[in-house]
Every structure is written in structure tokens, then in C-alpha cells.
Amino acid sequence: MNEIIKMTATDLAAKIKNKELSSVEVTKAFINRIKEVDPKIKAYVTVCEDYALKQAQNSDEKIAKGENVGVLEGVPIAIKDNILIKDIRMTASSKILENYIAPYDATVITKLKNAGAVFVGKANLDEFAMGSSTENSAFFTTRNPWNTEHIPGGSSGGSASAVGAMTAPLALGTDTGGSIRQPASCCGIVGVKPTYGRVSRFGAVAFASSLDQIGPMSKTVEDSALLLNVIAGHDTKDSTSINMEVPDYLSKIKDGVKGLKIGLPKEYFIDGLDTDVKAALDKAIEVYKNLGAEIVEISLPHTDYAVAVYYIICCSEASANLARYDGVRYGFRAECTNLLDEYQKSRGQGFGAEVKRRIMLGTYALSAGYYDAFYGKAQKVRTLIKQDFEKAFEKVDIILTPSAPTPAFKIGEKSSDPLQMYLSDIFTISCNLAAIPGMSLPCGFSQKGIPIGMQLLAKNFDEQTMFKTAFGYQQATDWHKQFPKI
């Protein structure tokens, strides 16, 4: 195995800048890795080989001329295929956008270009980011690099699988209810959902606008902090973007966890939690105790309502956001003789089963006579969930929970039962409802060799404490140094 693909993004950036490696050499190593293993895991919808090599060549020329270079100059990255890169196909893993070419760059892509990153490909996802297993893609199911019979999680399963299989050192995902953290857990990598508004959503395909957030995925905590440094910040093109200073997320990452108060919500450590997950979390908690952190039991009393609240809100917002895909302005258009048929057939043939299910649920929840009973009430309970976290953070600095109730399950195991599939996000959705930052990092393996993730949650805009807490654990363990044998 080429040693380049095992390197962290931080190390690659330093070696490229110091001319120990060329960006072309690094990019070719990852492209070759994609050619070697992606037929087995199917992480990519589109591989951008020529585009990436041209970017890499430009990076090498800048370095050779002694020009100022970005912090990710020449470093490859995979981009979830619901984020726009100008002149590159963007499908959202849906038939309705199968041949859509992006006419502009998302703000995060502009920031990455300015930082010198190299785009090796667009990663597969559940259609329009609706799912927890990447089985809902219109094109194919992505597989877990640790065991190809298992799911990689979702909806950012392609991004997680790409990093886990070492076909990219970094990736971007989007997280509406756990879609970065849950697949990160399944694939044994780090995934970060920043505070809502910290990263611009301009140029990302909207699923549920009050919940969606773009975030980094990587093999190590410091690589995710480095990537968040690049993509975070205010954007006038996004009305939900927060205009406040962005700290250097690497500046305090090595400060240690001694004296930190880590909260364990009793509602998350319940009967029925997978025994392998519980065992891994118990060991992780002991690591934190040995590092000098104080463990505090807390309560988040409205947790039981989170799944119902989340699916009412996300489906309602999805039904409104996906109304734009009508076969008229862009995207797939069915052959019809009148406008009404065109709407119905274009959407009927273009959308997959899960997307249709969520549109119908959302339309019902927003319909006359039901708005107050469902959507209005869900928003009120969302406020109570947010208040639970505010009260908890008066007592603790960080909250620790499982990332997912089980390790990655087998492909097809839950696809016939949407309710069971929805429960895959039971530990992650409250974070989005409360708009706080959260991350998953590897903390062990199941007896079958499937990765297990631990979730850390922090108060609004306190990603620094979250990264510091995660890094302290990472340095005391070696899970981030494990690689799949694929």
C-alpha cells in the first residue's frame, strides 16, 4: 500500500509545502487508490481525475514559484454530491438531477479553492440526503470499507467511506440529523457537525433549511479542526450564516481535558443499547477519568420526543424545498403533453421512494387543519429540547453519548422498515434541533470488527472545547491509527 494514502491531511499539507512531496504525486496516489478499491465500496458518484490533476499541477507551480499558498495547498478532498462545484456534475444522488452541471461554486468550495484543496471526486449519498445508510441513492449503495456487507451509514456515507477506505484524506459532508456523525461512527473516522450558522450553506442542496449544516470528515481530530478553519465564517449569500469571529480551532486543541466536566445524559445510556457500543463507551469514559476529567450524570428530559419532532420538522421543510424540482426549470423532465402531467410524471419518475415518503409526510404536516397540531407543536417541543441543553451546559462543559445505538448493520437489514431506519439517528438528531455543535470520533470496534463511534456535544460556538476534548482522547488511544484491509 502506498504510504502517502495513510498520511493525515496535516502531514500532507506540510510535505507538499516543503516540496518533500508534489501535489501531483499525492493526487495520483489517491486517484490510484480510488481505481483500486472504489469498485468494491462505491463511494464516488463522479471521479474528477482530470480536474484534480489540473488543480494539483497548479498547486505545484505556485509552490515552485514561491507564491503564497493555502493551508490545504495540493491536498485532495472528496465532496458530498449535494454541494456545488462549478462545471462539475452534481446529482444529489437523485435521478431528477442525474445530468445537472453546477453553474457556480458553493461558498465552502470557494473557500477550499482559496486554500488550495484538490477535488478528487463527488461522493455518493442517500438521495437528497434523506437516509441513514446510503441505500437510498438512485445509483448504487455505498459499502462500509471495514466490511463490504455492511452499510457505511448515511446520508454522508460516500464521504465517510471515502475517508475510511483512504481514497481521500478529507471529505465534506452535510448533517441534518446526524448525517455526518452517524456515518463517521460506522466507518471509524472523525465527523463534525458545526454550530448551525457557523458554515455557509450557500451552494448546498437544501433538505431541511433550519437543520442542515456542512461539516468536515477526516481520519483525525486535528484534520477536522484544520478543515473547519478553512470553511467556517460569515457569508452574506446565506441569511442563516452568523456574523461572528471564527477562532483558530487548532490553537487550543492540545490544552488537555484535566478539570473538564463531561456530562453523561441518562436518557442516552438506556436498556437496549448495543452491548458492544456500551462496552466501548464505558472504556472511553474510563480514559477520560484517567485524563483528569470529571464525569457528571445529567438529564435531557425531552429526549424521548426528539425523533418525532425531528421527522415532522425535516419532512415539512423538505416538502417545501423540493417543490422546486418540477421538470420545468432544470433537472429531469418526463415526456408529457400537458403541464400538470409534466409536474406529476417528472416528480413521480425522478424522485425515489424515501424522498416521496418524506414529501408526503411533510405536506400532510403543513396542510390546513394540521399545521398547528403537527409542525407548530413540533417547533414548541424543539424549544424545550434546546432549553434542556442550555440547562445541562450550566453544569458541564461537554456532553458525551454514543454516536449510534448499534454498529453498522448489514445492507438490506432495515430497508423494508423505515421506522427502524429512522431510529438509527436517535442519538444525533437532538444536536441539530438545538443547533449546537457535535462530533463523532472512533472509540472501538464491535466483536465483528465494525467501528464504534463516540459523540461529543458542546454549547453553541464552542467547537474549541469539543476539539480539545476529542483530541485528548485521541492522543490516549490508537483507534485513529487503524486501517481497513480492503
Q: What positions carry a catalytic annotation? A: 80, 155, 179
Give dist(CA 282, CA 207) in Å, integer: 35
| C-alpha span between 57 and 28 (Å, rounded) | 11
Cα distances from 281 to residues 10, 180, 218, 442, in angstroms, run: 28, 19, 21, 10
Closest CA to 193 of 182, 204, 180: 180
The H or E element spanning position 94 is none
The rounded distance, in Å, linking the Cα atoms of 377 and 362 is: 14
- The C-alpha atoms of residue 50 and residue 353 are separated, in whole angstroms, by 34
- Cell (9 digits) for 35: 481505481
The answer to whether the CB of 398 falls within 8 A of the CB of 263 is yes
Q: Please give the radius of gyration of the chain, using alpha carbons only, rounded to the nearest integer.
A: 21
Angstrom distances, CA of residue 211 to CA of 128, 177, 388, 466? 14, 7, 18, 20
SS3 assignment, position 53 = helix
Write the DSSP symbol of residue 6. Answer: G
Contacts of 131 (CB under 8 A, 6+ apart): 154, 155, 354, 421
What Å distances lie between residue 127 and 32, 76, 243, CA to CA?
Answer: 27, 25, 31
Contact 82, 42 (CB under 8 A): no
